[in-house]
């Protein structure tokens, strides 16, 4: 341990992995209220409310255990919607909450069904559209739900191959994304429900195209797609004529998120996520606002909420060595005032900076990553952890990340790699990961280890691999396909066999199987190939210790995925620790369970890599069962 490491205070796990103090502020459409998420006196996340500009905060919900993580304002005054499932099963129900009376109604009381909000609009304030798979667990139909009566009626039935819907400003379903047998998609459109569906665009299996929203008059459909380009562009499409206009593009990076006027539905800005988030202003009406916001404070800014009058904006500033700061911005005077930060306890703590880096993979492909090293320590000869993101069709981004800060504070160098197959870097980079699970996707990770070792940052004998979901799979691949590289591994809800993973996918993923076949492998015709990429088949290669955490109710990666590799390892007397959480799904939502698992992981890493560790202490209320 260096002198700098020994004098850097140990940041408690509770501070890093606990619930935020306040987060996700959203202004009501009428500008009267600010709603946000915060823990109650039992440390369960609830929806809270205050008057905008006031400090009369009060809790609205009373969730018993898992906490609420999603909510949306409707355009019916004083009514918001929130989502909740049961112990991580992902069968979400949509609840309506009256912020004055605190009355709660389950608007989708369908047993075993999953509901998601499709569209709310100011032009139809008394109803909204939801996608629900109650009729057939494989398919999402569109239901129209009346906010006054709570009744839901079928609006648009899924013919069997639609994987996404889009409605216009009047809540008329006018767009569908149809899955094709080869893994491609067709974009379907109709002028109104009395007209037949027409195919207006076809995407091959290596293309991506998503409808974003309709213009106010319904005459323009905005798309994010990479057809005829490398990276996804923002396109304005006239469905009637087929003509299109490219509004924003970057040759390497995908268009990411859109800033849209809440009433006129005009596109005002589009973001591109390079190493950091960058905005391109398209509408001069907000150019001065974006310039004023950029001067408020450091950090990547995002306008997360606006009222209908477009006078009040809620703006988030993401930092990498502290909390996210939320501001109220008043357009009339272009003034900003701090509302709160999500984790004020982080302010002033010895947090490390996240450094964007890149390196050439062994085949020459440029790989982008984020490096975090211990504060105050020379980055030489450190124990290191490769933290692998899930998906795999996702990406790591810049900003405060407990998965990076926690190891860095304990003395580890942390590398988070956007390996090939990650999103955001264009079509060529995404498709370079096709059929490359446990192959070149994994080689990109090993090349990341080489990057650390060749620069003297990492001690080659003290490198661990850690991740969740696909990152958990990568951990298992690391210990089986490249056992000489890693000193140990930590796997959260990672699949151990691509065969059993694909055999047990949730019913509502059935329409997406063609895409899985194209990007991963075909279960019907390539079983042997999928087994050749499955860590379960190579358990006898494992040499180093493994820790596995699993949610008992995970609908995506079933508990059997972890059970079977643990059983196989124990049959061969290989070193494995295993803990199952009875009330969790694909990840650990309850803070008690997070505290328990990361306490285990911290002791595990310290034992095998030699970093620092906070004492475990008493952790009450967790559901973990060590097996």
Options 155, 300, 554, 583, the catalytic residue: 554
Please report the DSSP string for 316-371 in residue order. EEE-SSS--EEEEEETTTTEEEEEEES-GGGTTS-PPPEEEEEEE-TTS-EEEEEE
CB 183 within 8 A of CB 519: yes
Number of CB atoms found within 10 A of residue 112's CB: 10
Packing angle of the helix pair 440-454, 470-481 (nearest 10 deg): 70
Q: Mark whether 300 is an active-site residue.
A: no
Options 586, 596, 608, 622, the catalytic residue: 586
| Residue 372 DSSP class | E
d(CA 128, CA 117): 8
Radius of gyration of the chain (CA): 24
Burial of 594 (0-12, 13-18, 19+ CB in 10 A): buried
Adjacency order of strands within the sheet including 198-203: 162-167, 173-179, 185-189, 198-203
Identify the H or E element spanning 134: strand 127-136
Dihedral sign (CA 522, 525, 526, 527): positive
Options 215, 232, 271, 469, the catalytic residue: 469
Residue of 138, 81, 79, 87 whose CA lies nearest to 113: 138
End-to-end CA distance of the chain: 33
d(CA 242, CA 626): 59
Q: Mark whether 469 is an active-site residue.
A: yes
Distances, alpha carbon 149 to alpha carbons 92, 194, 329, in Å:
20, 27, 36
Residue 538 is encoded by which pair of tokens?
């190579």
- In sequence order, what are the residues at sequence separation of 6 or more whose Cβ sits closer than 8 angstroms to the Cβ of residue 524? none
Question: Residues 541-571, buried b or exposed e (16+ Cβ, 10 A)?
Answer: ebebbbbbbbbbbbbbbbebbbbbbbebbee
d(CA 211, CA 221): 7
- In sequence order, what are the residues at sequence separation of 6 or more whose Cβ sits closer than 8 angstroms to the Cβ of residue 392? 419, 421, 422, 433, 437, 441, 470
Number of CB atoms found within 10 A of residue 216's CB: 16
Q: Mark whether 85 is an active-site residue.
A: no
Please report the DSSP string for 201-267 in residue order. EEE-TT--EEEEEE-TTSS-EEEEE-TTSSS-EEEEE-TTT--EEEEE--SSS-EEEEEE-TTT--E
Dihedral sign (CA 273, 274, 280, 286): positive
Dihedral sign (CA 159, 165, 170, 171): positive
Question: Does residue 534 sit in helix, strand or coil?
Answer: coil
CB 129 within 8 A of CB 173: yes
Active site residues: 469, 554, 586
């Amino acid at each position: 341990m260096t002198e700098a490491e020994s004098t850097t205070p140990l940041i408690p796990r509770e501070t890093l992995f606990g619930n935020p103090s306040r987060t996700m502020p959203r202004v009501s459409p009428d500008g009267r209220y600010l709603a946000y998420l915060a823990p109650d006196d039992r440390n369960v996340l609830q929806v809270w409310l205050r008057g905008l500009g006031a400090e009369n905060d009060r809790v609205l919900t009373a969730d018993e255990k898992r906490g609420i993580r999603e909510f949306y304002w409707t355009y019916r005054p004083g009514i918001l919607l929130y989502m909740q499932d049961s112990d991580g099963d992902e069968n979400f129900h949509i609840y309506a909450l009256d912020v004055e009376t605190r009355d709660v109604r389950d608007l989708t009381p369908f047993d075993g069904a999953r509901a998601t909000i499709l569209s709310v609009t100011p032009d139809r304030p008394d109803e909204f559209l939801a996608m629900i798979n109650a009729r057939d667990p494989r398919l999402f139909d569109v239901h129209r739900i009346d906010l006054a009566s709570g009744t839901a009626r079928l609006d648009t039935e899924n013919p069997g191959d639609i994987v996404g819907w889009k409605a216009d400003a009047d809540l008329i379903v006018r767009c569908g994304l149809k899955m094709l047998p080869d893994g491609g998609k067709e974009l379907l459109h109709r002028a109104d429900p009395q007209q037949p569906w027409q195919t207006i665009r076809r995407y091959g299996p290596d293309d991506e195209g998503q409808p974003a929203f309709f213009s106010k008059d319904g005459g323009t459909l905005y798309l994010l797609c990479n057809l005829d380009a490398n990276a996804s562009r923002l396109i304005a499409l006239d469905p009637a004529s087929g003509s299109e206009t490219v509004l924003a593009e970057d040759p390497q990076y995908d268009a990411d998120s859109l800033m849209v006027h809440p009433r006129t539905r005009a596109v005002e800005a589009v973001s591109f996520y390079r190493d950091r988030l960058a905005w391109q202003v398209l509408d001069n009406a907000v150019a001065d606002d974006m310039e004023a916001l950029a001067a408020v404070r450091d950090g990547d800014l995002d306008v997360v909420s606006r009222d209908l009058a477009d006078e009040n904006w809620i703006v988030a500033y993401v930092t990498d060595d502290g909390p996210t700061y939320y501001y109220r911005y008043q357009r009339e005077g272009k003034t900003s005032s701090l509302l709160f930060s999500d984790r004020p306890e982080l302010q002033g703590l010895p947090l490390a900076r996240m450094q964007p880096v890149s390196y050439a993979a062994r085949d020459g492909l440029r790989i982008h990553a984020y490096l975090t090293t211990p504060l105050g320590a020379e980055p030489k000869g450190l124990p290191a952890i490769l933290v692998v993101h899930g998906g795999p069709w996702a990406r790591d981004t810049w900003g405060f990340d407990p998965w990076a800060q926690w190891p860095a504070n304990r003395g580890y160098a942390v590398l988070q790699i956007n390996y090939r197959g990650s999103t955001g870097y264009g079509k060529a980079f995404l498709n370079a990961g096709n059929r490359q699970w446990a192959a070149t996707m994994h080689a990109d990770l090993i090349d990341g280890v080489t990057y650390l070792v060749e620069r003297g940052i990492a001690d080659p004998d003290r490198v661990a691999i850690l991740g969740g979901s696909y990152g958990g799979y990568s951990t298992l691949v690391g210990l089986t396909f490249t056992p000489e590289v890693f000193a140990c591994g930590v796997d959260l809800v990672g699949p151990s066999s691509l065969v059993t993973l694909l055999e047990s996918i949730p019913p509502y993923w059935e329409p997406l199987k063609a895409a899985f076949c194209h990007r991963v492998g075909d279960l019907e015709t390539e079983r042997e190939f999928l087994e050749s990429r499955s860590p379960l088949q190579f358990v006898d290669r494992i040499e180093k210790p493994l820790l596995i955490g699993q949610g008992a109710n995970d609908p995506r990666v079933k508990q059997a995925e972890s059970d079977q590799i643990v059983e196989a390892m124990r049959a061969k007397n290989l070193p494995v620790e295993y803990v199952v959480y009875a009330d969790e799904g694909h990840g650990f939502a309850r803070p008690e369970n997070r505290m328990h698992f990361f306490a285990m992981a911290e002791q595990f890493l310290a034992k095998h890599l030699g970093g620092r560790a906070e004492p475990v202490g008493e952790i009450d209320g967790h559901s973990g069962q060590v097996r």
